[in-house]
């Protein structure tokens, strides 16, 4: 793996996209509202934030060769494309009806990233009694 010098910016963008999708697809068990209506990345517990950051970092580093083929070189400085990577990582790993496999990523990259996402396994999100967003595997 030969990661670029801006890998920390890339991982940060992937993480933000991942959390955005996580909150957008998860409802609060108490009232059924989607979490993104009231929560953002700053509302994750310390443990949840560490879990999310570790998962996203691992995903980027372990799949860097595929990602650099899937994301155009010109986009390495654009955080929106990397945010989409995080978004699709969440959707794919948790079995939502969209993700890397749905045609927005070129083949074979989309399918390779789908396999890597599924290998990461599902996880679940809830709001704790302390009103913090938690993640469990």
Summarised one tens digit per residue, pLDDT across range 64-78 is 999 988 887 555 566
User: Is residue 59, in this structure, part of any structural domain at all?
Assistant: yes
User: Is residue 109, in this structure, part of any structural domain at all?
Assistant: yes
pTM: 0.93
User: Is residue 41, in this structure, part of any structural domain at all?
Assistant: yes
User: Is residue 19, in this structure, part of any structural domain at all?
Assistant: yes
Domain, as residue range, for 68: 7-136
What is the number of other CB atoms lying within 10 angstroms of the CB of residue 27?
A: 14
- pLDDT score, position 4: 73
Number of domains in the chain: 1
Summarised one tens digit per residue, pLDDT across range 5-23 is 788 999 999 999 999 999 9
Cβ atoms of residues 60 and 11 within 8 Å: yes
Helix (H, G, I), strand (E, B) or coil at 66: helix
User: Is residue 1, in this structure, part of any structural domain at all?
Assistant: no
CA dihedral 99→104→108→114, nearest 10 degrees, is 0
User: Is residue 96, in this structure, part of any structural domain at all?
Assistant: yes
User: Is residue 122, in this structure, part of any structural domain at all?
Assistant: yes
């Amino acid at each position: 793996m030969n990661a670029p010098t801006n890998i920390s910016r890339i991982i940060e963008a992937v993480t933000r996209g991942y959390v955005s999708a996580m909150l957008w697809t998860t409802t609060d068990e108490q009232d059924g509202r989607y979490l993104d209506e009231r929560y953002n990345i700053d509302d994750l517990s310390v443990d949840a934030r560490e879990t999310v950051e570790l998962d996203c970092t691992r995903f980027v580093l372990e799949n860097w060769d595929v990602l650099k083929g899937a994301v155009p070189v010109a986009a390495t400085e654009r955080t929106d494309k990397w945010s989409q990577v995080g978004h699709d990582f969440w959707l794919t790993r948790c079995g939502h009806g969209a993700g890397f496999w749905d045609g927005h990523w070129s083949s074979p990259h989309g399918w390779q990233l789908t396999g890597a996402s599924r290998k990461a396994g599902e996880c679940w999100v809830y709001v704790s009694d302390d009103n913090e967003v938690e993640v469990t595997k």
